[in-house]
Amino acid sequence: MNLKFPRCMKAGRAADVSQWDLADALLKETEDQRKGPRGYEAVVKEFADHLGLDYSAEYLKILRTVAQVFPPNRRYDGEHNKPMVTLRGHQEATSPDMLDAIVKAAKKKDVPVTRPLIIKTLQQLRAQERAARADEHKAAQVELAEAEDEEHRAEKRRDNAKSDSERKAATEERDHARTRKAKAKRKVQESKVPPKRKLPAPQEDEEPDLLTRVRVSAAVSSIMGDSLRLKQDLVEFLGSGAASPAFVNAAIEQLIGCREELTRMIDLLRQHQKGGKAAHLYAIGE
């Protein structure tokens, strides 16, 4: 039998096909391209012709990419490192350093490192990164506006100067404002929201209890989603005229209890808020 991909076929022939064995075989025998003599479609055809296996080019690409990103000594496959994490879990983690951080955090909480846990952790980390970048972006925009205003005022003083010394001082102020403006422009550009999948692994001193923070953030998001759905249900139910006075009174008491508990949690968070209450936009108008 003349095979172009003997390692891949051997891995596919195994009674219990190992994703890692197949991934490593793909990394050795194929090129990262869909078409061509060593592309994914050629492997798909050979699997179908010789083993009757129906793999997709997309699936083979995932396997090869994960094998390339995670060399054997950086894998949690139960052999090189423990605990065992699925190959798809490795894919979701995006990098060995990120997976190391998640595994370390999970061990501290004695929870299994599942694909849903990895997905949820990355979602929260990305949300945090985007929020931090958004704050930085707004601050840079303010800095840019102030620098432009400073430049404009310096230009005006320079134009209206009555002596060489006044003109020189105004020119220096203008040049300083232009330098400040150029730096602010760079900050505005650099602080744009980063690409979704490019995220540095959290350091332990920055995220001493990663999973707790992820759980809290997920719970807050869930509360917000439930509140919006509840509001819609109430609008429809109350609009139908079917709500009894007893139901309305009971619902009000329950919601007041929720509000009081949420207020206590907000007060608890504010005790640890850096920069004081006014540091956040929600404080405006209170």
Q: 175 with 83, same domain?
A: yes
CA distance 245 to 263: 27
pLDDT at position 275: 58
pLDDT at position 285: 36
Q: How many residues does the structure list for the chain?
A: 286
What does the pLDDT look like over 34-46, one tens digit per residue?
Answer: 999 999 999 999 9
Q: 114 with 192, same domain?
A: yes
Q: 173 with 237, same domain?
A: no
CA distance 127 to 107: 23
Q: 84 with 205, same domain?
A: yes
Mean of all residue pLDDT scores within the chain: 89
Q: 228 with 108, same domain?
A: no
pLDDT at position 204: 66
* Dihedral sign, Cα of residue 182, residue 186, residue 187, residue 193: positive
Q: What is the pTM of this model?
A: 0.68
pLDDT tier for residue 207 given thresholds of 50, 70 and 90: low
Task: Flag whether 93 is in a domain.
Answer: yes
pLDDT tier for residue 280 given thresholds of 50, 70 and 90: very low
Mean pLDDT of 10-38: 92
Look at residues 209, 233, 248 and tell me which one is the last residue of a structural domain. 209
Q: 100 with 200, same domain?
A: yes
pLDDT at position 216: 84
CA distance 209 to 71: 27
Q: 84 with 191, same domain?
A: yes
pLDDT tier for residue 282 given thresholds of 50, 70 and 90: very low
Task: Flag whether 280 is in a domain.
Answer: no
Instruction: Provide the percentage of residues in the chain whose pLDDT is more than 90.
Output: 72
Q: 137 with 150, same domain?
A: yes
pLDDT tier for residue 178 given thresholds of 50, 70 and 90: very high
What does the pLDDT look like over 87-124, one tens digit per residue?
Answer: 999 999 999 999 999 999 999 889 999 999 999 899 88
Look at residues 209, 232, 261 and tell me which one is the last residue of a structural domain. 209
Task: Flag whether 245 is in a domain.
Answer: yes
Look at residues 209, 242, 264 and tell me which one is the last residue of a structural domain. 209
Task: Flag whether 182 is in a domain.
Answer: yes
Q: 189 with 93, same domain?
A: yes
Cα within 13 Å of Cα(40), Cβ side: 17
CA distance 222 to 268: 20
Lowest-pLDDT range of 86-90, 182-186, 199-203, 263-267? 199-203
pLDDT at position 277: 46
SS (H, E, C) the chain: CCCCCHHHHHHHHCCCCCHHHHHHHHHHHCCCCCCCCCCHHHHHHHHHHHHCCCCCHHHHHHHHHHHHHCCHHHCCCCCCCCCCCCHHHHHHHCCHHHHHHHHHHHHHHCCCCCHHHHHHHHHHHHHHHHHHHHHHHHHHHHHHHHHHHHHHHHHHHHHCCCCHHHHHHHHHHHHHHHHHHHHHHHHHHHCCCCCCCCCCCCCCCCCCCHHHHHHHHHHHHHHHHHHHHHHHHHHHHHHHCCCCHHHHHHHHHHHHHHHHHHHHHHHHHHCCCCCCHHHCHHHCCC
Tokens describing residue 44: 């798909």
CA distance 185 to 192: 11
pLDDT at position 15: 66
Lowest-pLDDT range of 177-181, 195-199, 242-246? 195-199
Q: 184 with 243, same domain?
A: no
Q: 234 with 259, same domain?
A: yes
Task: Flag whether 2 is in a domain.
Answer: yes
Indicate whether 279 pLDDT > 70: no
Q: 135 with 176, same domain?
A: yes
Task: Flag whether 98 is in a domain.
Answer: yes
Q: How far from 156 is each of 63, 146, 153, 232, CA to CA, in Å?
A: 63, 15, 5, 56
Task: Flag whether 191 is in a domain.
Answer: yes
Of 115, 186, 181, 125, nearest to 154 by C-alpha is: 181
What does the pLDDT look like over 127-175, one tens digit per residue?
Answer: 888 888 888 999 999 999 999 999 999 999 999 999 999 999 999 999 9
Residue 4 CB: number of other CB atoms within 10 A?
A: 14
Domain span including residue 45:
1-69
When divided into structural domains, the chain yields a total of 3
Tokens describing residue 159: 């134009």
CA distance 145 to 284: 21
